[in-house]
A and B are shown apart, each in its own frame.
Chain A
Amino acid sequence: MQGNSTGRLRRISASKMFWPFVVLGLILLFNLIFTKGFFNLDIRDGHLFGTTIDILNRSSQIMIIAIGLTLVIATHGIDISVGSVVAISAAMAALLIGGKLVLRGDVQEYVTLVPMPVAILAAVGVAGLAGGWNGLLVSRLKIQPIVATLILMVAGRGVAQLITNGQIITIYYKPFFFLGNGFLFGLPFTVYIVAVVLAFTLFMTRRTALGLYIESIGVNPTASRYSGIKPERIIFWVYVFGSICAGIAGLIVASNVKSADGNNAGDLFELDAILAVVLGGTSLNGGKFYLGGSVIGALIIQSLTTTIYAQGVPPEITLVVKALVVFAVTMLQSESFRKMVFGRFVPVASATPQKESV
């Protein structure tokens, strides 16, 4: 009886999704005890307001990028250009929407340069093109993913600045602000964007064989090819999808800050997103991936930042705390560390089945 329950416990704790949940739970528990009014929710103008809603809203950009990046990482790749793609997409959107002051009768009104849907499609399209470039380099030219995407990471910010002509473009067109700041049925609109992206990705990877293909490519591309999968094609589209996600995040960024800054938009996003994916339990070595884990990873990062601010800790220490959490989670995910620390609590019997199997 007892052995059965410890077995179940071990099975749960061995699940990759377990540790991210524990970390997020710990952060929330900490806030429940130490931060006043952390879980308070107000309704103002029919919208929900509160720290938790704020965390959801603010982490949406990293969540979306992390979802796309999870698939890239599952193929044993990496995309460090997402931050630059965010900047390119934001620059494109800002350039096309901009906002011109026009007199209509007696009313001053801002109008877009091109219709907003066109601008949005163009921004996401450019991001997709960027992803196509990455995908081509990785899948056809067989360049290592980190180097292939390093190219766009460096050049992309230059391209973004080229689009905005080195200036920060301010957006005046009001409807565009809804993307990043609007509310729908009481919740921030960004939450719905994340939900749609997540649902689409989950459907594509879990309801079709695509997810299995991606995992098998990540584990062994040669074996996948023998079993009839075309790694080149799948890897290519995974990079395109990753960049489109970054492009959507870029739209949110541009809408949120009502401007596009080629130099600083999406700065260090790639690192935060990779961190979110890894915190979520997906290994950088490819193979099994956890989309839900990545979303939780992004939540961990944002709730940590918010917690630090809520505690009145000087903002300059944020990075140090973030670093310590990175180290802590890395340790928790490391099997040898877990064995070292928790190993003595596990009955010796656990070692015997391994010996028998050898």
Chain B
Amino acid sequence: MKMALRLNRKFLPLTVTILLFLIMYGAGSMLYTGFFSLQVFLYLLIDNAFLGITAIGMTFVIISGGIDLSVGSVMALTTMISAALLEKSHMSPALVIPIALLSGSTLGFLMGSMIHFFKAQPFIVTLGGMFLARGLCYVISIDSISIKNTTYEAISQARIHLPTGQFISVNVLIFLLVIAAAIYLAHYTRFGRTIYAIGGNEQSAVLMGLPVGRTKILIYTMSGFFSSLAGIVMTFYMLSGYGLHAKGMEMDAIFAAVVGGTLLTGGVGYVVGTVFGTLIYGTIQSIITFQGTLSSWWTRIVIGLLIFVFILLQSIFSSREKKLGSSAPGSGGRKMVRRVLASAQIIAPEKE
């Protein structure tokens, strides 16, 4: 009984995210005819596959206690490299895709190395990476390059029909594969557990003998890889390469992760939560499209408010969790620290 309760509590933020998605989707269905259909739901996946893939990469980075501001620019760079190689150098897609994936991963590897070896701050290093990738886009071309490659067009237009008659795109398949791979990585491998350990307390992770340095570099490499994969998915979706693609996507990815229950302090987060965070983002946009008369700036205001609501809910839950934790057995030291901290909080209001 107690076990079941505790498990519930651990997944509480995740449950809240899923509930919120259902409520929002339900509200959309009530308000607009045609909203409640499997195809509209599938369109959420089709239109947001690239956001979801980057957000999953971002989730790993955030769980480790870092941040990656370069993801949007890396996506843009990938679309640009793909378009330039396909249209200007006339290379085969079989070569272009690996090259594009390698470019993002390399940038991620370099940033991860800087963060680990030189103890540089992730925020600043990835900010540099953001400038670099966006700048390289413009070096390749200032204008948008449209893609007329037959393979890319075929992939872009392919419709995979479900037995029930609805369809999805190749991008959705890639997205689903990434979700499965990410869940496996996070929860069933040593690498995944090390990420959580680093985010929980890096020093403890080092003292436990975990390969912190290697893992940190790998996390940023992986985020770079996921971003360039998202860039490829975006190339399929847009059929063009452009330096202004995915502008501000890093913030959308952070939104998806945070709303999905990932804590920016590190150590806490779920891939599934991020997937639902992405779906919530998509639902907000769909509702605004269905409404038709709402101006685009309302999207931003609503998203801002949603982040606020979420953070509030999370802080309420996490404070409740802490109170329960104090009664855990064998936590004498922690209890004392807590008592001191609590008394500090009691002292402060009295003084005011």
Binding site for B on A (CB under 8 A): 78, 137, 141-144, 146-148, 150-159, 161-162, 166, 222, 225-226, 228, 230, 232, 262, 271, 274-275, 278, 283-285, 316-324, 326-327, 330-331, 333-337
Contacts and interface: CB of A to CB of B under 8 A. Distances in A.
Nearest to B265: A144
A336 B132 CA distance: 23
Contacts of A323: 128-132, 135
Interface stretch (B144-152, B174-182, B189-197, B250-258): B250-258
Contacts of A262: 297
Given A330-B114, A334-B120, A324 B132 contact: yes
B312 to A, nearest CB: 7
A319 B138 CA distance: 9
A316 B128 CA distance: 16
B135 A326 contact: no
Interface residues of B, number: 50
B262 to A, nearest CB: 10
Interface in B246-289: 251, 254-255, 258, 264-265
A275 B312 contact: no
A157 B300 contact: yes
B254 A150 contact: yes
Contacts of B120: 330-331, 333-334
A141 to B, nearest CB: 7
B184 interface: no
Nearest to A317: B139
Interface in B296-347: 296-301, 303-305, 307-308, 311-312, 315, 341, 344, 347
B118 A158 contact: no
Contacts of B125: 327, 330
A319 B295 contact: no
A330 B131 CA distance: 14
Contacts of A274: 123-124, 127
Given A319-B134, A336-B118, A154 B304 contact: yes
Given A137-B308, A157-B300, A336-B119, 8 more contacts: A78-B123, A142-B315, A154-B255, A158-B304, A271-B127, A326-B124, A327-B114, A330-B124
Given A144-B264, A161-B297, A262-B297, A320 B344 contact: no
A206 B351 CA distance: 26
B157 interface: no
B172 to A, nearest CB: 26
B135 A318 contact: yes
Contacts of B344: 222, 225-226
Nearest to B251: A154
B310 to A, nearest CB: 9
B340 to A, nearest CB: 9
B311 A143 contact: yes
B119 A158 contact: no
B142 interface: yes
A284 B121 contact: yes
B348 interface: yes
A322 B139 CA distance: 13
10 contacts: A137-B308, A144-B264, A154-B251, A154-B304, A155-B301, A155-B304, A157-B297, A162-B301, A326-B128, A327-B128
Contact of B132 (A141, A153, A284, A319): A319
B136 interface: yes
